[in-house]
Amino acid sequence: MSLLTNKVAVVTGGNSGIGYATAQELKNKGAKVVITGRDSDRVESAARELGVTGIVADVSDVSAIDSLVAKVAAQYDKVDILFVNAGIFQPAPVGQISEAMFDHQMGINFKGAVFTIEKFLPILNDGASIINLSSVNAYTGMPNTAVYAASKAALNSYTRTAATELAPRKIRVNAVNPGPVATPIFGKTGMEEAQLNGFAEAMQNRVPLKRFGTPEDIAKLVAFLASDDALFITGGEYNIDGGININPLLA
Ligand code: NAD
């Protein structure tokens, strides 16, 4: 029997990047998977490719999460694995942070995560696993990421409290902190291609293992935390970053 047979998994932002690879990994390990995303064409085509259920839901809209939960409950009844992955990266320097950008980024990365969990709680099985996709940026002072980093630091703090409060139901809550991972997220920032390439090269040089992560690298860790092999792990944070968070003084 596969590791996740008979488990129902929901992956927010599952039509692209890390979410897509994780949906694939969870399915390969035997789970029944639901992916969500904002764009109906993208969600539909990813769901078709993966052979999973696709549901459109914007995590920054609490009523959309309500309707997502109702649809998942109608089709699957209860959920065992909730991968809170949907997120955006909108770099801006301090001094040029607009209120709209702040609300948008916090609204998806932090408020969206909190209310995804809040609304799914009633249909989570006791013993379920929640994995929050954070970032090593929560711990770095990388230029232009003040609001993004804060949204992830808030998520990590929330993870610890939620882990304590949900422990009586044996629901485990953990955070995963990737370093740079090759996904479409950077192309959505509005940066020019040359700027993006320079950014990628500079970042890669800072990674002790000298490469970007792949979405599959992250998917494997998430699938482990979702499984019964991780039954004693809760309230934890896992860096998966090629060593970038070591911050070596000499490389
Ligand atoms: P991606 O752009 O490929 O995927 C992001 C997913 O989130 C997409 O499916 C998108 O549709 C979805 N999404 C965005 N806003 C949404 C909303 N309002 N409602 C529903 N879905 C929404 O990027 P990715 O790199 O795979 O990012 C996934 C997560 O990983 C994000 O939380 C991101 O912050 C985090 N992360 C990424 C990296 C990296 O280097 N790629 C590093 C650390 C953390």
Q: Is the per-residue pLDDT at 138 higher than 80?
A: yes
Residue 41: CB partners within 8 Å, gap ≥ 6?
Answer: none
Q: Relative to the CA of 60, which ligand 1 atom is closest?
A: 18
What Å distances lie between residue 62 and 68, 194, 230, 238, CA to CA? 10, 37, 30, 28
Ligand 1 pocket, mutate which of 10, 16, 45 (most atoms under 8 A from CB): 16
Residue 124 Cβ inside 6 Å of ligand 1? The answer reads no
Residue 27: both structure tokens together: 């399915």
Query: How high is the pLDDT of residue 247?
Result: 82
| pLDDT number for residue 92 | 95
pLDDT for position 187: 87
CA distances from 147 to 100, 138, 191 (A): 12, 10, 17
**Distance between CA atoms of 97 and 79, rounded to whole angstroms?**
38
Residue of 20, 139, 148, 238 marked active site:
148
> In the chain, what percentage of residues exceed pLDDT 70?
99
**For 167-195, what is the mean pLDDT?**
93
Condensed to tens digits (0 to 9), the pLDDT of residues 195-241 reads 888 888 999 999 999 999 999 999 999 999 999 999 999 999 999 99
Residue 120: the pLDDT is 99
Residue closest to 16 by CA, chosen among 114, 87, 72: 87
Q: What domains lie within the chain, and their CATH numbers?
A: 8-241 (3.40.50.720)
Ligand 1 centre and the CA of 234: distance in Å?
Answer: 23
The pLDDT assigned to 148 comes to 98
Q: What distance in Å separates the CA atoms of residue 189 and residue 208, rounded to the nearest whole number?
A: 25
* Residues 245/179, Cβ–Cβ less than 8 Å: yes
Residue 251 pLDDT: 67
Question: Nearest Cα to 96, choosing from 152, 154, 147?
Answer: 147
The pLDDT of residue 210 is 95
Q: Provide the mean pLDDT of the chain.
A: 96
pLDDT at position 129 is 98
**Does the CA dihedral 2-78-10-32 come out positive or negative?**
positive
Amino acid at 96: Q
Mean pLDDT, rounded, for 111-131 = 98
Task: Kindly state the tokens that stand for 118.
Answer: 């809040």
On the question of pLDDT at 135 being above 80, the answer is yes
pLDDT at res. 1: 54
Whole-prediction pTM value? Answer: 0.97
108 lines ligand 1 (CB under 6 A): yes
Q: Which of 251, 250, 226 is nearest to 238 (CA)?
A: 226
- 148 classed as catalytic: yes
pLDDT tens, position by position, 68-82: 999 999 999 999 999
* Choice from 185, 203, 216 to test ligand 1 binding pocket (greatest atom count within 8 A of CB): 185
Pocket lining: 54 vs ligand 1, CB cutoff 6 Å: no
Q: How much of the chain is helix, strand and coil, in % rounded to 5?
A: 50, 15, 30
Neighbour tally for 153: CB within 10 Å: 16
What is the per-residue pLDDT for 248?
A: 79
Rounded to an integer, what distance in angstroms lies between the CA atom of residue 9 and that of residue 92? Answer: 34
Residue 189 banded pLDDT, cuts 50, 70, 90 = confident
Burial class (CB in 10 A: 0-12, 13-18, 19+), 194: exposed
CB 54 within 8 A of CB 16: no
Give the pLDDT confidence score for residue 195 in this predicted structure.
Answer: 86
* Cα 203 to Cα 242: distance, rounded to the nearest angstrom: 11
Report pLDDT for 10: 99
CA gap 167, 181 in Å, rounded: 31
Where do we find the tokens 């192309």?
A: 187
> Per-residue pLDDT for 2 more than 90?
no
Indicate the range of 17-31, 58-72, 75-89, 195-209 predicted with least confidence.
Answer: 195-209
